[in-house]
Amino acid sequence: MLVGALVATGVVAFLTREEREYGVWVYLKSDVTEEQRAAVKSAMGSLQPEGDVEYEDSEQARERFEEIYKDMPEVARPGPGEELPESFTLTTRNADLQCADLDPIRKLPGVDRIQVAQVPNDQVLPGEVTCY
């Protein structure tokens, strides 16, 4: 009987785990090929994005950076000719996002680094997820 109660409690806990929203950014190496870029975008679909996997080229990244920090002159700017990396971005909802879920993407040629951030809500603080 005790085992049944423990199993039932575990099932209820599993079923009531709250999904959390994560932003995932995959930054590409400067020498990424078109084939590598396509493979990264395809692999990101395994993270079950809420919408599209969005691509941002180096010029778009610079424009976004300038817009975000336009009123903050103390923030260092990229120098002339210094490129910001291309990237793919997605948002996913998941109750149990694991670093292992990112390994197939991390291991792809052309990937420089991956950044994951937990999106804040009424009950969850923002935070960066670090995977080694």
User: In the structure encoding, which two tokens stand for residue 96, read together?
Assistant: 């149990």
Query: In the prediction, which pLDDT does 6 show?
Result: 45
Give CATH for domain 17-129. Answer: 3.30.70.60
Task: Give the predicted TM-score (pTM) of the model.
Answer: 0.79
* pLDDT digit string (tens) for the chain, length 132 residues: 544 444 444 444 445 568 899 999 999 999 999 999 999 999 999 999 999 999 999 999 989 988 988 888 887 777 777 789 999 999 999 888 888 999 999 999 999 999 999 988 888 788 888 886
End-to-end CA distance of the chain: 42
Instruction: State the sign of the Cα–Cα–Cα–Cα dihedral 88, 89, 95, 97.
Output: positive
Query: In the prediction, which pLDDT does 124 show?
Result: 79
User: In the structure encoding, which two tokens stand for residue 19, read together?
Assistant: 């999904």
Cα 127 versus chain centre, distance: 12
What are the pLDDT digits (tens) for 72-103? 888 777 777 778 999 999 999 988 888 899 99
Query: In the prediction, which pLDDT does 79 show?
Result: 75
Asked if 27 and 37 touch (Cβ cutoff 8 Å), the reply is no
CA–CA distance from 2 to each of 13, 14, 15, 16, 18 (Å)? 16, 18, 20, 21, 26
